[in-house]
Every structure is written in structure tokens, then in C-alpha cells.
Amino acid sequence: MLAPERRTRADIFTAVAIAVTVLVAAIVVWARADATGTDSVVASSPAPTVTAATQVPTVLHERWHAADDSSSRALIAGNVAVTGADGTVSGRNPQTGEQLWWYRRDMPLCAVQSQYGSVIATYRDQRGCSQSVMLDAGTGQRKVARSSYMDDDIQVTGDGTYLLALGPERLEMWRSDLVRTLEYGYVDAPVNPNTQPRSGCTLRSAASSSSRLAVLERCPGDTTDRLTVLNPAPKEATDPEEYGSHVLTAPGADAPEVRVIAVSDNKIAVYYPPTAPTATGLGLPARLAVYDGNGNELATHQLAAPWTADTTVTRIGSAVYVFTGDSLISLNTSTLQPVWTVPDALGTPALMAGRLLVPVADALLAVDAGDGATVGRIPVQRSDYTGGVISTAVLGPTVFERRGGVLYALG
């Protein structure tokens, strides 16, 4: 008969060491988990329904304001106003500013956007702006999330069908459930090698529609920018489908100010800055070039003045409006050529009771969207405003202005 095994002191030390190792590993996993460092407070009930305004107000006063430095425009979603600052995204009562819900992470906020009646927040971790979450606008309830390698700084824009996340080396297109439909540019760990058409390119600007993605990029070996037109949702997200890619040859195509302005189903508008006179000829004024859905140039429209670095594009329904830095220009929805201009604008417009509200000095102009004629002027006293782009939004009877990293509610 064998003698029973007896535990030695070495056995006990080994067991303790294994237990400590397992505990430390569990703590590390917990510390790195997405849920760690997250504070989510949802609304007890959906935000109250807001009724659309039936007329433009004659006077507006500031009612409340809140920090909002993580988005590029005034955001509304569903029945709430949206702000983002210090890692926190908030859904607010549009009339009082009360936080109805909030979502907070101990990571820097890269971008906040609204689309699909939802709020999309993107955070930065060790892989760049890689952590995105979609929140229900009415309650703040987390709907879906995604994680992937991205650049350290990105812009997130929506075209009504897809979301475009653009960085200098890489971009992604996401559908309404944040599933990636396309990756383009630098690939960290490609599953299928050699699927990207080019490598080492810098993505300068991009814009999308439901059927086209236009990318302006500078690639090794190219002396000017290249305009590449892609399918925003190819058969395989990792295998881009090109409709055309052309090195631009127009004068000024090597200037850093060149950028994609707008994309429709079959047209692309690209801004060119003015060119200096040369020994062989006069310089050219600023212009807007229109390309077809394959990247072939169709027309060029001369502009009255150059556009500044503050140029911002706003879509309201199918209409496209460009704030040029000192004026607002409407583009024809089918041809993308300029139609009318409101001079001395301070930012982007919003639609209220059938009129465009355009920010100007000490007021908001009520503008006819058809011809750009001013039909009214609403005085506004802007506190703490020292210049910069004003982004305008409307929710029910409340007008919002985002300026200087702060969202102001006017009523």
C-alpha cells in the first residue's frame, strides 16, 4: 500500500504563486476592459418630443450654454441637444440645458457626431481614435460599439447613409450599426495582402454620398494631388473598389488648399485656390471644379474670392451650403455649381420654419433657401464671442450656436 502524498512547504509556495499570478492577470484584464473607466447614466424615460417651429422668431436671447469642444458643429439628435467635452457626451433638454443622460470614459474624445437618430462618440486609446460607441439619442442607452486601428486624429462626418472616419493615413466607412463597409489607406495588419491600390499616401480630404466616396490624396511619385473615387460599400470591406483615380493636372493642383467640397451620386466638387502669375501667363482666380462619378472633369466655375481654412460644408436634406470663411454659398443639388451667395456670413446655416438662419454680426438672417434673398433679421447679443466660425442648429423653437468650443441655446 502506497503512503499518502504529503504537502511540502515548496508545494504551498508554488500554489500561492499560481494564485497570485492568476489574480494579477485578472486585474490586468479588468483594468484594460472597455467597461472600466466608463460612467453611463441613461435617461429614466425618453426625451420629450419637440414640436417643429411654425415661424421664425423676431428676437432671440441666450438661455443656457455648455462646454462643447469635441465636435465641429452644433449637434442635435432626436429630441436632444448634444455636447461633448472632457471625455463626456451629454444629451440635454434643448430648452433648459439639463443633462438627460451622459456617457463618460477616461479617454480623450476624438469626435462626436449625430446620425440615424443616434449619437456617435469616438475615443482615443493606444491604437489611435479606435473606440467608437453609438448611443440612443433619446435615452443615452448604448446600442453598438466598434474598435479598430485608426489615426490619432480623425474627422467623423455623415452623409445620411454612411459615416466617414477620416485620418491622414487611413479612413473607414461605417454603416448604421457601425459595421465597417470599407477601409482605405494604411492597414495595420492586413488579412489579405496587396488589396490596397496604393501605399504611403497622405489622405488630404474626403467626402461621401450613398454611392460615391471621393478622396483627395498625395501619393509617393505623384507631383500633385490625386482624386480617387471609390465605392463606399464594396463587396469586401478590405478590398477597395475604384471607379477612377486621376492625378490632378489643373493649375494649383499641388496647393495645400485644394480639397473635396461635396459629393453627390454622380458629381464631385473640388476647390482650387488662386494661382500666382507666371512668366508665361496670368494667374487664375479661385475656382470650383466639378467631376463626374469616375473622377473626370466636367466643368469649372470661377469664384469671386478665395475660400479660407475655415471653409465648412453643411448638408440640409439634399441641399449643400458652403461657408467660405466670409460668405455662405448655395450649390445646385444636381450640378454642384454655385447658385447664390449671402455675404458677410459668420458660419453655417440651419433650417427653421422653411427659412435658412444664417449667422452674421449681431444677428441671424432669415434667408429664402430658393434664391438667397434676406427676408428677415433676428438680433442676437453673443456673449464672449471674439470671432471664429459659428455653427447653427435648430430644434423646435430653440436655435443653437456653437462658437468658441461652447454650445449656446437661444430662445
**11 in a structural domain:** no
- Between these two residues, 360 and 279, which has the higher pLDDT value? 360
In a domain, 15, yes or no: no
Q: Which domain holds residue 117?
A: 38-186+198-410
Which region, left, alpha or beta, applies to residue 47 given φ > 0 means left and ψ of -120 to 50 means alpha?
Answer: beta
- pLDDT band per the 50, 70, 90 thresholds, residue 14: low
Q: Mind listing the pLDDT tens digit for each residue in 23-71?
A: 444 444 444 445 558 999 999 999 999 999 999 999 999 999 999 999 9
Residue 134 lies in a domain: yes
Q: What is the maximal distance between C-alpha atoms in the chain?
A: 108
- Rounded CA separation 398/396 (Å): 6
* Contact between residue 334 and residue 38 where contact means Cβ atoms under 8 Å apart: no
Mean pLDDT of 277-285: 82
pTM of structure = 0.89
- Average pLDDT over the chain, rounded to whole? 92
Write the DSSP symbol of residue 212.
Answer: -
pLDDT at 239 over 80: yes
Q: Is the model's pLDDT at 169 over the cut of 50?
A: yes
Question: How many domains is the chain partitioned into structurally?
Answer: 1
Q: Could you tell me the strand order of the sheet in which 118-125 lies?
A: 109-115, 118-125, 128-136, 142-147
Q: What is the pLDDT of residue 82?
A: 98
Establish if 129 belongs to a structural domain: yes
Statement: residue 1 has pLDDT above 90 = no
367 within some domain: yes
Outline where 227-323 has alpha helix (H).
none
Q: For 30-34, 91-95, 132-136, 304-308, which range has the lowest pLDDT when averaged over its residues?
A: 30-34
* Segment among 21-25, 79-83, 278-282 with least mean pLDDT: 21-25
User: Considering Cα of 33, then 38, then 43, then 44, what sign does the dihedral take?
Assistant: positive
Residue 100 has phi, psi (to 5 degrees) of: -85, -30
**CATH number (domain holding residue 242):** 2.130.10.10
Q: Is 9 helix (H, G, I), strand (E, B) or coil?
A: helix
Residue 181 lies in a domain: yes
Instruction: Indicate whether 20 belongs to any domain.
Output: no
* Residue 12 domain flag: no
**Chain-centroid distance, C-alpha 142:** 20
Per-residue pLDDT at 145 exceeds 70: yes
Query: Which pLDDT value is given to residue 244?
Result: 98
Q: Are 112 and 120 in contact (CB under 8 A)?
A: yes
